[in-house]
Amino acid sequence: MADCSLELPGSSNPPSHLSLLRSWDHRRVLPCPALQGTPLSATLSLVMSQCCRKIKDTVQKLASDHKDIHSSVSRVGKAIDRNFDSEICGVVSDAVWDAREQQQQILQMAIVEHLYQQGMLSVAEELCQESTLNVDLDFKQPFLELNRILEALHEQDLGPALEWAVSHRQRLLELNSSLEFKLHRLHFIRLLAGGPAKQLEALSYARHFQPFARLHQREIQVMMGSLVYLRLGLEKSPYCHLLDSSHWAEICETFTRDACSLLGLSVESPLSVSFASGCVALPVLMNIKAVIEQRQCTGVWNHKDELPIEIELGMKCWYHSVFACPILRQQTSDSNPPIKLICGHVISRDALNKLINGGKLKCPYCPMEQNPADGKRIIF
C-alpha cells in the first residue's frame, strides 16, 4: 500500500505538495484512511487560507475586468448605430449622379492626382492601367519632379533642390520666395556642423549669400557670428539652435509650398480637401435631411450645385472670394455670373434680366439709366 501519511510540523521532512492540495481548509481531514479525523495544523491552515484568499481575489478581479471590457464593447455597437447612417446618399440630390460615367472619370482623375501628389507613383500608374484612364505625360511630369526632389531632401541631399531653385530663381523672386536662401543657409549650417575642418569651405560658400544680403541681413550676421565658436563646438555655444533638426522639416514644407505655387498646383490634393470638407458638412446635411423628412417639406433642396444652408468649413478652406447678389440674395455661379454696370454697381445676371424695362435698365442703387448690353461680366 502506498504511504499516504502526512508529516506534521516539528518533523524532519516538510509536508508534501499532495498533502497541501488535499487539505482544503482546517475543517476538512485528509482522505487517507490512516489519517481519517486528523485535523490540519495551524501553519497549514494559515497557508491554505492565504491561498484561498488570493484565488478568490484574483477571480473577483478577473470578473470585474471582464465586466468593464464587456461594458465598453457593448457600447461600441450603440455608438456605431448612433453616429453612422447607411443611407448617406440621400443627403444630396439625385441629379448629381446624372452623368455617371463623367462623374466616375472625374473621381478617378482626382484619385490619380492625389496619388501622384503623395508620391505613390506606382499605385497611380496601376490605377490608370486598370481604369483605362489616359493621363498625359505633361500632367505627370511636375509631380514626378517634385517627388524626386522631396525624396532627396528627406535624405538630407540639397543638390536637386538647389539646382531647381537656381533654375527658377526669377519666378521665385516674383513670388517673394526665400526658398533659395534657405537652401543655401542649410548647406552652410551643414558645413558648420563639420567643425574646424570645414571652416575654410564654409567661408568660401558664404559668397552665395551676397544676392540675399538686403533681405536677410540679420540671418546672415547670425551665421557668420557662429564661426567664432566653431573651434569650441556649436553644440555648447549661443548658436546651438542652428543645428536643430527641425530645419529639414521646415525646408521640405517651404519647397512644397513654393514649388506648388510656382507650378500652379495646390499644396493639398483636391481629393483630400474635398474629403475633409465632406466630413465637416455631412453631419449638418444629415440633420437637415431628417428635419425635411419629419416636416414633409418639398422643394427646399432641389439644386445640385447649391446647399440649402451655409456650412462653415473654417479658415483652412478659404481659397477665393465669392459674390452674393444684393438684389436676389443668391450666390453667383457660372450660369448666373456677376455683372458690373456702367455706374460701377455689381448685380447678378438674373437680377439684371429682371430689372430690364422697355429695353432699358435702371440701376437699383442710383438713378442712372443704361443699356443692359453695356454690362460686363467680372471675375473675382
Q: Tell me, yes or no, whether 308 lies in a domain.
A: no
Chosen domain end from 237, 263, 289: 263
Q: Tell me, yes or no, whether 309 lies in a domain.
A: no
Chosen domain end from 215, 233, 263: 263
Edge-to-edge strand order for the sheet containing 376-377?
Answer: 346-348, 338-340, 376-377
User: What's the pLDDT score for residue 55?
Assistant: 92
What is d(CA 147, CA 114) in angstroms, rounded to the nearest whole number? 13
User: What's the pLDDT score for residue 23?
Assistant: 47
Same domain? For 168 and 227 the reply is yes
Same domain? For 119 and 176 the reply is no
Same domain? For 234 and 153 the reply is yes
Q: Tell me, yes or no, whether 129 lies in a domain.
A: yes
Same domain? For 179 and 215 the reply is yes
Strands 338-340 and 346-348: antiparallel
User: What's the pLDDT score for residue 299?
Assistant: 61
Chosen domain end from 247, 263, 279: 263
Q: Tell me, yes or no, whether 9 lies in a domain.
A: no
Same domain? For 166 and 253 the reply is yes
Same domain? For 110 and 175 the reply is no
What is d(CA 273, CA 266) in angstroms, rounded to the nearest whole number? 10
User: What's the pLDDT score for residue 232?
Assistant: 82
Same domain? For 235 and 212 the reply is yes
Question: What is the mean pLDDT of each successive set of 10 residues along the chain, which is 380 residues long?
Answer: 42 46 44 57 84 90 82 79 67 64 82 87 87 82 88 90 90 88 91 86 89 88 88 84 88 89 82 86 80 70 62 76 82 88 90 86 85 85
Same domain? For 156 and 251 the reply is yes
Cβ–Cβ under 8 Å, residues 213 and 220: yes
User: What's the pLDDT score for residue 316?
Assistant: 75
What is d(CA 29, CA 36) in angstroms, rounded to the nearest whole number? 6
Same domain? For 199 and 246 the reply is yes
User: What's the pLDDT score for residue 36?
Assistant: 54
Same domain? For 120 and 182 the reply is no
Q: Range of 124's domain? A: 101-135
What is d(CA 285, CA 277) in angstroms, rounded to the nearest whole number? 12
Q: Tell me, yes or no, whether 371 lies in a domain.
A: yes
Nearest-CA neighbor of 158 among 303, 288, 255, 261?
A: 255
Same domain? For 166 and 255 the reply is yes
Total number of domains in the chain: 3
Q: Tell me, yes or no, whether 41 lies in a domain.
A: no
**How far is it between the farthest Cα atoms of the chain?**
128
CATH classification of the domain holding 364: 3.30.40.10
What is d(CA 368, CA 345) in angstroms, rounded to the nearest whole number? 11
Q: Tell me, yes or no, whether 53 lies in a domain.
A: no
Cβ–Cβ under 8 Å, residues 316 and 356: no
Q: Tell me, yes or no, whether 84 lies in a domain.
A: no
Same domain? For 121 and 160 the reply is no
Element (H, E) at 106: helix 100-117
Q: Is 180 exposed, middle or buried (0-12, 13-18, 19+ CB in 10 A)?
A: buried
